[in-house]
Amino acid sequence: MSWGFAAWLMLGGSTVLLFIGMPVALTFISVNIIGAWIYMGGEAGLAQLARSSVSSVMAFALTPIPLFVLMGEVLFHTGLALKVIEGVERLIRRVPGRLAVVAVVAGTVFSAISGSTIATTAMLGSLMLPVMLARGYHPTLATGPIMAIGAVDMLIPPSALTVLLGSLSGISISKLLVGGVLPGIILSVAFVFWIIIRVRISPHLAPADDGDVQYTGWERWKPFFGYVLPTLSIFGVVVGALADGWATPTECAALGAFATMVLAVAYRALTWDALLKALKGTAGISGMILFIILGATTFAQILSFSGASNGLVQFITGQGLSTGMIVAGMMLMLIFLGIFVDQVSMMMITLPIFMPIVQSLGIDPVWFGVMFLICMQLGLLLPPHGLLLMTMRGVAPPAVTMGHIFAAVVPYVVMSILLLAAVFWIPSIATWLPKLVG
């Protein structure tokens, strides 16, 4: 059989099953069984598929995923995340759209200690959205910043999806984690400036007085030093250990999880009930991710064994296109896929084809990986099926319509696309910090 038939069978079959709504893990396991039977020798191929599946989820490099997820779950269920929001809110005052700015800054802080984009959006949406609406904020101004900063969680370490991308693509996980820091901060700052400018242009979107209680002196700074700064020290532990090179990503994740537990115990917030909820949430999310990895790894192996990977690489590189045009085409494909499928599906469909091209053309894998992350972050926000749009719909009151949510996210999608273009034209935005820390 030709490599073209194999590509249509594996890639086309998985895409069709995803579009009709089959769960991601089951989609790729089903396609893998068919592919193994056809291309790897019937029963012998199925036996090899089983062995490959087991070995794929036993990789030591995947250990940071549950540890990063645990960090966010502990902070959420112990209530320390609420204290962080309070500390940020007391510091920010006399700013147009103050509560929207607070949501962005608090979300950035929480992104630095949480490995889950959904957890960040759900927490900020359930806590801050009702307050903003009650104080007279327009639904688009209230919902937009919360969804946008939730997506930035993917770029700022710790991030479970970044570890997953590094594991599936073969890109250095530590460099990928560090490489997302600067783009994530740039987006957060851009969001704050946009909110301020938007409210100055259209003052009706936010009240001039949003009920801010004016704290002075130590009362204003107490939550910052008491909660925000100690919580940010966890980010310092994780990124500092990575930057200095004295700990692997797995060891850094273990240090971060340990520091989070110590912090929760120090504040006497780590009850048995909170710990059980955090562990259950971690087990559920991690189990789902590992089950997906099982399907993704064997999928890539079968594509390679059938000759589809090499055939597609030779076809694309033989078209006479420049490296820049090929990379731009890959980014456009990722943005298009982000409209329809989730982030893990994007990785599973594209990485088996993209990474051989990246290697054959000598493209900087960290630069490519950071742009891949930005495209996945965009996919979280793209209507109509963006995961964070659905999360916001789930926590928002009935007065907030899907029309409000779609309209709210548009400027943040534009800013994310502009960041992607900036990283494309100025690769040092993604590569400077990983090179600096060696």
**Segment 303-324, tens digit of pLDDT:** 666 666 566 666 666 677 788 8
Is residue 385 within 8 Å of residue 164, measured between CB atoms? no
Which residue from 245, 268, 279 is spatially nearest to 67, judged by alpha carbons? 279
HSE of 380 in the Cβ direction (CA atoms, 13 Å)? 28
Say how many domains are in the chain: 1
Q: Burial, 414: exposed, middle or buried (Cβ in 10 Å; 0-12, 13-18, 19+)?
A: exposed
> Which residue reads 């989820």 in tokens?
57
Q: What angle do CA 270, 67, 189 make, to 5 degrees?
A: 90
Rounded Cα–Cα distance for residues 249 and 61 (Å) = 8
Q: What is the mean pLDDT of residues 54-78?
A: 75
Q: What is the mean pLDDT of residues 9-13?
A: 72
Is residue 288 within 8 Å of residue 66, measured between CB atoms? no
Q: What angle do CA 224, 409, 386 make, to 5 degrees?
A: 100
Rounded Cα–Cα distance for residues 368 and 347 (Å) = 13
Is residue 239 within 8 Å of residue 178, measured between CB atoms? yes
Residue 319 in 3-state DSSP?
A: coil
pLDDT tens-digit map of 230-280: 888 887 777 777 766 677 777 888 888 888 888 889 888 888 898 898 888
Rounded Cα–Cα distance for residues 157 and 179 (Å) = 9
pLDDT tens-digit map of 99-140: 888 889 888 887 777 666 776 777 778 778 888 888 888 999
Domain limits for position 181? 3-436
Residue 425 neighbours by CB under 8 Å, 6+ apart: none
Residue 408 neighbours by CB under 8 Å, 6+ apart: 139, 140, 141, 142, 143, 144, 147
pLDDT of residue 251: 82
Which residue from 234, 186, 211 is spatially nearest to 98, judged by alpha carbons? 211
pLDDT tens-digit map of 145-200: 998 988 888 888 877 788 888 888 888 888 888 899 899 999 999 999 999 999 99
Torsion of CA 417, 419, 421, 425, to 10 degrees: 180
Going by pLDDT thresholds of 50, 70 and 90, the confidence category of residue 297 is low
Torsion of CA 416, 421, 427, 429, to 10 degrees: -30
Is residue 275 within 8 Å of residue 73, measured between CB atoms? no
